[in-house]
Structure 1
Amino acid sequence: MIVVGITGGIGSGKTTIAGFFKELGIPIYIADDEAKRLMNTSKELQREIINLFGEEAYREGLLNRPYIASKVFNSKKMLSSLNAIVHPAVRKHFQDWVAAQNAPYVMQEAAILFENGGYNLCDFTILVTAPLKERIARTIKRDDTTENEVIKRMKAQWSDDRKAAMADVVVENIKLEEAKNAVSRIHTHIMVRLDKGWA
Structure 2
Amino acid sequence: MAFKHGILTVGITGGIGAGKTTVCKIFEEFGAKVIYADELAKELMENDESLKKKIKKIFGVESYIGGKLNRKFIADIIFSSDEKRKLLESIVHPAVIKRILSDLKKIAGEGKYSFVIVEAALIFESGFDKELDYVLVVDADDEIKIKRIIERDKCSREEVLKRMRAQLDSKIKRELADMVIINDGDIDELRKKVSFFYSLFEKISKSSGGN
Q: Which category of TM-score, normalised to the shorter sequence, fits these structures?
A: over 0.9
- Measure, in 2, the Cα distance between the counterparts of 1:140 and 1:38: 28
- Give yes or no for the alignment of 1:190 onto 2:190: no
Q: How does 1:42-191 map to 2 (within 5 A)?
A: 42-101=48-107, 102-175=112-185, 176-191=187-202
Unaligned runs of 5+ in 2: 1-6
- Measure, in 2, the Cα distance between the counterparts of 1:179 and 1:113: 22
Unaligned runs of 5+ in 1: none
Match of 1:35 in 2: 41
| TM-score, normalised relative to structure 1 | 0.95
- Measure, in 2, the Cα distance between the counterparts of 1:69 and 1:194: 38
**3-state secondary structure, aligned to 1:100:** helix
- Measure, in 1, the Cα distance between the counterparts of 2:81 and 2:121: 18
**3-state secondary structure, aligned to 2:116:** strand
- Measure, in 2, the Cα distance between the counterparts of 1:66 and 1:181: 35
- % identity of equivalent residues: 37
Match of 2:27 in 1: 21
Question: 8 Å contact 2:12–2:135 — kept in the other structure?
Answer: yes
> Shift of the alpha carbon at 1:174?
2.1
Question: 8 Å contact 2:114–2:206 — kept in the other structure?
Answer: no
Residue type at the aligned position of 1:82: L
Q: Which moved more, 1:186-195 or 1:158-167?
A: 186-195
> Shift of the alpha carbon at 1:136?
1.0
Deviation readout 1:17-71 (Å, 9 max, x if unpaired)? 1111111211111111211121111111100101111111111111111221122
CA-atom RMSD, angstroms?
1.4
Residue type at the aligned position of 1:110: A
**3-state secondary structure, aligned to 1:196:** helix
| TM-score, normalised relative to structure 2 | 0.89
> Shift of the alpha carbon at 1:178?
2.0
Residue type at the aligned position of 2:98: K
Match of 2:3 in 1: none
Question: 8 Å contact 2:35–2:118 — kept in the other structure?
Answer: yes
**3-state secondary structure, aligned to 1:170:** strand
- Measure, in 1, the Cα distance between the counterparts of 2:149 and 2:45: 23
